[in-house]
Chains A and B, each alone.
Chain A
Amino acid sequence: MSSLHTEIESLTILPGTTRDGKMEGFDEIIIRPGDTFSIVGPTGSGKTAFINDIEVFAQGDTVTNRRILINGREPDEALVRDPSKKPIAMITQNTKCLADLVVSEFLEMHIRSRKLKGQGIMEKTISVANEFTGEKILPHMRMSALSGGQTRSLFIADAIIISNTPIILLDEVENAGIFKDRVIEVLREEKKAIIFVTHDPYVALLTGTRIVMGNGAVTKILTPGRKEEETLAEIARMDAKITHLRERIRAGDLLSGLEGVEA
């Protein structure tokens, strides 16, 4: 599988304005291959608008007035408009697929639009998706009949295997009941630049940089380094417990006490 993407050395976010029309309080945010970011903040604070700006390569033409540069300059038109050259894949919170096609047709069509050659790409995408979801996705299922979690899993696998972009944007990966640990693991193996919009403490602390949003704008940029290491380890243990409990509830167990939960 060859990638047609332009060599991406950096993606730069230039400040826009707050909802009151004031300038955002940062000079620039630079994203490089392998970087991980989380975007946090209350609902309505502008998290989704932030990653939308990146996805459409805003040039002051969105509500936020932000601008996005690739390798330090305004991106070429082809990079923005031709999906087979676009270096970004976004997984939205939307878990409905409107395409009236079966899974294999849908993926084959996407493989064609990305001009990929090679055997087994469709099968590999489905098998990666099935690592993220409880109930298996089969090639002959209709896209519109998949559950929210299955759709989300398939779109993430599609972004990794078919779009194969250097930058991936994920809006609330923790939703829809998929195995977020597996998703993060696979993304790390692939050395992608990843930007998570998240409300999940575990996902937020796993990333290198945390961007805090409020009133439609960036209010803080945190790079905790090793300062949060112990907290992260503690959260990881708590998260593993909750995951274990969730799986037992899903399996139909009665939970009297937390026996067997200690991770």
Chain B
Amino acid sequence: MNVKLIAIAGPPSAGKTAVVKQIIRNLPDPKKAAYLKIDVVQAWEDEEIAAEFGIPTKKVYSGDMCPDHMGIMVIRDAMEWAEKNGADYLLYESAGLCLRCTPYTKNSLGLCVISAVSGTHAPLKMAPMIALADVAVVTKIDLVSQAEKEVFRERIKEVAPGIDIIETNAVQGTGMRYLTKVIADMPPAPSEKDMLRGVPPLGVCTICIGKKEIGWQEHFGVIRQIDAPDSIYRGD
């Protein structure tokens, strides 16, 4: 296998697709990229990117399934698809919904895209998504003051002390030269077989199967009351 897998996660409207476009634009050969978008019901990024760069793109709708669950199901096939299409890079963009999920795999480059205008507490709220990423790409950096930039950065470091932080105005592409270098230096995935870095949240429950009643009294399996002693959290 000669494909470098780049997993792009981050909340909606953070600028994931703008970052994807800058990555492709700055590759030694943009035609060597392939792009996979996972979303719930609506996405057109694949069409936009195919039109702009003329590269193989694909989208998968998760519908009623958790989009990260869907991503985990299809990413191995997608690696083979990318290789068959002669791609050296597969950019895999998550839907960006559940911030508890971390779609990064061991062999991928994990990018977490966060907007600088999302508030000082945002990095703490998306902790698992940042903690397991290799690089935090902070977008919309042109909209905040220098002091805010530095405070935001400090917050990210609180969650992930060793993380590489790249600040960018992704529309203009400032700062992207550092990300381009990280991508140039990363090794390709040795195989399409790979493992998730983190433990995903518990996914099988009575709500998933369609029970609409609210309150723990109506459910079984993993339940909790408001004053339960500890949080239901078995992540890293």
Contacts and interface: CB of A to CB of B under 8 A. Distances in A.
Interface of A: 52, 55-56, 58-59, 61-63, 77, 81, 83, 89-92, 94, 97-101, 106, 109-110, 112-114, 155, 158-159, 162-163
Given A99-B148, A114-B150, A94 B143 contact: yes
Contacts of B206: none
A109 B158 CA distance: 11
Given A59-B177, A113-B151, A113-B154, A99 B172 contact: no
A40 to B, nearest CB: 22
Contacts of A101: 120, 151
5 contacts: A81-B167, A94-B144, A98-B120, A110-B151, A155-B145
B146 interface: yes
B174 interface: yes
Contact of B145 (A81, A94, A113, A162): A94
B144 A109 contact: no
A158 B166 CA distance: 23
A159 B150 CA distance: 12
B147 interface: yes
Contacts, number: 76
B31 interface: no
A91 B176 CA distance: 23
B144, B167, B174: residue with the most chain A Cβ atoms closer than 10 Å: B174
Interface residues of B, number: 29
A144 to B, nearest CB: 9
Contact of A98 (B142, B144, B154, B166): B144
Interface in B174-226: 174-178
Given A90-B145, A110-B154, A113-B150, 11 more contacts: A61-B174, A62-B174, A91-B145, A97-B148, A98-B144, A100-B121, A106-B147, A109-B120, A113-B151, A113-B153, A113-B157
A197 B71 CA distance: 48
A163 B147 contact: yes
A111 to B, nearest CB: 10
Interface string B160-174: 000001110000111
B28 interface: no
Nearest to B180: A61
A98 B147 CA distance: 11
Contacts of A90: 145-146
B117 interface: yes
Contacts of A77: 178
B59 interface: no
Given A61-B173, A100-B120, A100-B121, A81 B178 contact: yes
Contacts of B21: none
A44 B62 CA distance: 45
B150 A97 contact: no
Q: Which 10 A-B pairs have the closest CB atoms?
A: A113-B154, A83-B150, A99-B120, A113-B150, A109-B151, A158-B147, A56-B174, A155-B145, A110-B147, A89-B146
A63 B154 CA distance: 29
A110 B145 contact: no
B119 A52 contact: no
B142 A52 contact: yes
B1 to A, nearest CB: 31
Contacts of B175: 56
Given A52-B142, A58-B174, A77-B178, A98 B148 contact: yes
B119 to A, nearest CB: 5
Given A59-B177, A61-B177, A99-B119, A110 B144 contact: no
B100 interface: no
A27 B121 CA distance: 45
A163 B146 contact: yes
A155 B147 CA distance: 7
A92 B155 CA distance: 22
B150 A92 contact: no
B117 A62 contact: no
B149 A83 contact: yes
A215 B6 CA distance: 39
A98 B150 contact: no
Contact of B153 (A63, A83, A155): A83
